[in-house]
Structure 1
Amino acid sequence: MRYKGYNVEPSAHALPSGRYAANLTIENSSPALESSFCFEALDYFFEADHAVAYASRRARLWIDQRGKPAAR
């Protein structure tokens, strides 16, 4: 999916315990600012779709926060 100029790839990784780890890859789609950020095991869930939804929300929050100046 795309969000504010970034390619966002949320995913769920199945673990031996039966839980799913919420993983996330965010790539800047601008050719001048090529960069990629990977976040693994943001949190753990019993349902794969919950893990993907959580990673999607975290991506939007992370991207929105990057557009704001740092607090002093």
Structure 2
Amino acid sequence: MVYYKLEKVMKMREEDNVPLISVEELAHYLGLRRQTIYNWLHKKKISGMKIGKVWRFDRKEIEKWLDKCCIR
């Protein structure tokens, strides 16, 4: 289910040619709270990049992370 939802955002972003997604987008499509994403960042369970004051996630890195940690 998580993968299905993330697949939707990835396809949407591919169409927009946008390689980065926000904390809000990632949380929404994984069905999690934003705070969970921030906790994972702090615990280094997920990697992201901070651009100014805003965290962004590389779409391809998220796909790799899902391959490693989740069952498809």
Tell me if TM exceeds 0.5. no
Q: Which has the higher strand share?
A: 1
Q: Which has the higher helix share?
A: 2
Higher Cα Rg: structure 1 or 2? Answer: 1
With structure 2 as the length reference, what TM-score do the two structures score? 0.31
